């Protein structure tokens, strides 16, 4: 759960870096650096786990003993909840707090 929270914080950091940089080469280098950190730390992210589970299953011809439907659903559930907490609550609420104004928006 904690790994999933940090995973989403890192993913949002990569997205923010991409928005703030003007040079394309700098964007690519920053994204590669953040992806390296993400992979090195082995964080749990729902979208990253989908291909990882599929590759592991098909590469081993389905011979992984601990890879049951229950364990996969358990991992995806806690990764999803952790990604939600990291992205929506921590990052989203921080940006909402930083961008608060005293005026009301009228369209």
For the question of whether the overall pTM of this predicted structure is more than 0.75, the answer is no
Distances (CA, A) of 16 to 2, 31, 32, 34, 89: 21, 10, 14, 11, 16
Distances (CA, A) of 107 to 91, 103, 104: 26, 13, 10
Opening angle at CA 38, ends 25 and 86, nearest 5: 110
pLDDT at residue 35, rounded to an integer: 82
Q: What's the Cα-to-Cα distance from 31 to each of 13, 26, 43, 85, rounded to whole Å?
A: 10, 9, 16, 22
Per-residue pLDDT of the chain (107 residues; tens, 9 = 90+): 888 888 888 888 888 888 888 888 988 888 888 888 888 887 777 777 788 888 888 888 877 888 888 888 888 898 889 888 988 888 888 888 888 887 777 76
């Amino acid at each position: 759960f904690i790994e999933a929270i940090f995973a989403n914080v890192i993913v949002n950091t990569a997205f923010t870096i991409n928005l703030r940089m003007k040079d394309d080469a700098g964007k690519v280098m920053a994204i590669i650096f953040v992806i390296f950190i993400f992979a090195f730390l082995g964080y749990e992210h729902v979208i990253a786990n989908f291909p990882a589970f599929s590759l592991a299953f098909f590469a081993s011809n389905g011979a992984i003993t601990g890879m049951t439907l229950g364990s996969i659903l358990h991992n995806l559930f806690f990764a999803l909840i952790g990604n939600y907490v990291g992205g929506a609550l921590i990052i989203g609420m921080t940006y909402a707090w930083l961008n608060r104004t005293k005026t009301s928006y009228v369209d």
